[in-house]
Chains A and B, each alone.
Chain A
Amino acid sequence: MRDNTLKYLLVLPAVLVVFATAIWPLVESLRLSFTVGRLNKPNFPQGYLGFENYTWAFWEEPAFWNSVWVTGIYTVLTVALTTLLALGLAMLLAPGGRLRSGVQTLLILPFAMSPALIGVSFRFMFNPEFGLFDAFFGAVFPPLADISWLAHPQLAFAVCVMADVWGWIPFLTLVLIGGLASVPPETIEAAQVDGASGWRVFRDVTLPQLAPVLAVVIILKSIFSLKTFDQIFMLTNGGPGTATQTLSHYIYFNGMKYGQIGYSASVAWLMVIPMIFLTYAYAKFVFRKAS
């Protein structure tokens, strides 16, 4: 067979799978977002509404705005905290040696944990009677001793953020260690010879050279933070009330619990929009690296 035919035949199955499992549902979701789409009624999707689902979300649903707000704060906090802590840890671990390499290996473990299980484990750690972290915080800050974390809106949110940061630090740290390894040591040594302090070397030499890797990490983490569902579902299930209800959870709840597929598809599509920008930014980095 000629290469010219073969090369297209080789990619065909993959492209078909991606179309069937990702592109089709995207388009179909868009179509459903303009319909009534009630699961529990006959003749699904029961006619077209135009943009009514969207306007409903915008003007009639405080719960939608609540989940936008929760997701926004959650994303900003988890991205900032994970990146900063992972950068610190990466700086500590980058020099290598037996202890540091061993710790790098151990970092794989939390990363291989299912996010649902991370949710369970943090619910365990913050159990008011026998949770280890609950006991620890109670001992360090006595005012927190008698508080049931997951029953308190802001504290439950804080636990969700902690669980997320905990789960993502290993991955970001490993990426940043890789990034630090590609910073030429001569540039750092030259700055040190010039008498620059440790902080100045970091700020003026290391950080600028690490910028592309940091950008990739921040984009990627933002995408995953915006999508967060698994831990939240297992940890708080959006509660107490709707204090920790992220967009994904809101969509799940409206679609699956209330059977409002049309409405939840419209919210889902509102969520796709920021993803398009982030993916675009991400793709630029991937292709710059490839070329």
Chain B
Amino acid sequence: MTGRQKKQIINAIQIVLILIAISIMLIPIIWIFLAAFKNHVDVYQLKLLFTPTLENFGVVFDAPYYLGAKLLNSSIVALVTVVIAIPIATMAAYSFSRFRLTGETAMLVMILATQFVPAVVIILPFFVMFRDIGLLDTRVGLILVNLAIVMPFAIWMIKGFIDGIPLDTEEAAMVDGSSRIQVILNIVLPMAAPGLLTAGIFCFIIAWNEFLFALILTNKDAVTLPIGLALFKGEEGDLWNLLSAAGIIIMLPMFVLALIIRRYFVQGMTMGAVR
């Protein structure tokens, strides 16, 4: 066998392995997509050919499930979390990126470390406090605790983007008599805008998918989509066609957002430990 043939065979084997791997990765997702369009009889069979129906999407928004209310809660909670987190994180990120602060490393380590605190540890005191001040089962309460998981990511991610903006334009503007605030507003923010949008989308996905906080803090009014999944456990077991329809409503927007920012996903998740 010539070297060339050997190379071709190796490449063919690799392609087969890649196709197997990606099939395994996609099958559970495809299966949910199919089940969402099956009626409740077809879903209990392993068949690929069926008459698609949109009925499930109507049912989940109707009584008694009212998924629309959960969709609204999820959207408001995730959006407000991001709207609060990004400006605060941007201010801090700029300062960490451009100045030397006393205790800077300590602050950065602390922010990094909070990301790794188990959510169960954070939520116990919040549950007790919210019970006392009446914030249980409110969107406000959920937004407050979501800030805990979103802020460290946002600060580190935006710091990474601002680190990448050259100093020259800022310095030139300062020489021309602009104040620091003007420089931030007129020069840094426009240049960092794509980065801020990326960080915002990233945090939105995290807040949207958040589960444990919502499970513990909400039970009726402020229930979010991931918790809403538990609704579809009927007397006779899981209602898979409805679960799947709800699953699509949860994951489809995140797929779109994730594809938009896919180049920054790795950097965001590792807080710049890997670029």
Contacts and interface: CB of A to CB of B under 8 A. Distances in A.
A14 B270 contact: no
B116 A223 contact: yes
A29 interface: yes
Nearest to B209: A114
Interface string A161-202: 000001001110011001100000000000000000000000
Secondary structure type dominating chain A contacts: helix
Contacts of A23: 110, 114
24 contacts: A21-B114, A21-B144, A22-B122, A25-B121, A29-B125, A32-B125, A103-B21, A103-B22, A108-B265, A110-B29, A116-B226, A117-B250, A124-B238, A130-B43, A132-B31, A178-B275, A230-B226, A248-B118, A264-B124, A268-B121, A268-B124, A271-B118, A283-B109, A289-B274
B88 A132 contact: no
A3 interface: yes
B190 interface: no
Interface string B210-226: 01100110000000001
Which one of B32, B99, B124, B145 has the highest number of Cβ atoms from chain A below 10 Å of its Cβ? B124
Chain A interface residue count: which class?
A: 35 or more
Q: Which 10 A-B pairs have the closest CB atoms?
A: A21-B148, A14-B92, A22-B114, A112-B258, A114-B209, A28-B125, A10-B95, A7-B99, A230-B211, A116-B226
A69 interface: no
A234 B128 CA distance: 24
B205 A112 contact: yes
B172 interface: no
Secondary structure type dominating chain B contacts: helix
A31 B248 CA distance: 42
B118 A121 contact: no
A148 to B, nearest CB: 12
A133 to B, nearest CB: 8
A59 interface: no
Interface of B: 14-15, 17-18, 21-22, 24-29, 31-32, 35, 43-46, 85, 88-89, 91-92, 94-96, 98-99, 101, 105, 107-114, 116-128, 131, 144-145, 147-148, 151-152, 155, 179-181, 205, 208-209, 211-212, 215-216, 226-227, 229-230, 238, 240, 243-244, 247, 250-251, 254-255, 257-259, 262, 265-266, 269-275
Contacts of B118: 226-227, 248, 268, 271-272, 275
A108 to B, nearest CB: 5
Which one of B128, B226, B240, B273 has the highest number of Cβ atoms from chain A below 10 Å of its Cβ? B273
Contacts of A252: 120, 212, 215-216
Interface in A209-252: 213, 216-217, 220, 223, 226-227, 229-230, 233-234, 248, 251-252
B251 A89 contact: no
A285 interface: yes
Nearest to A272: B121
Contact of A114 (B88, B109, B226): B226
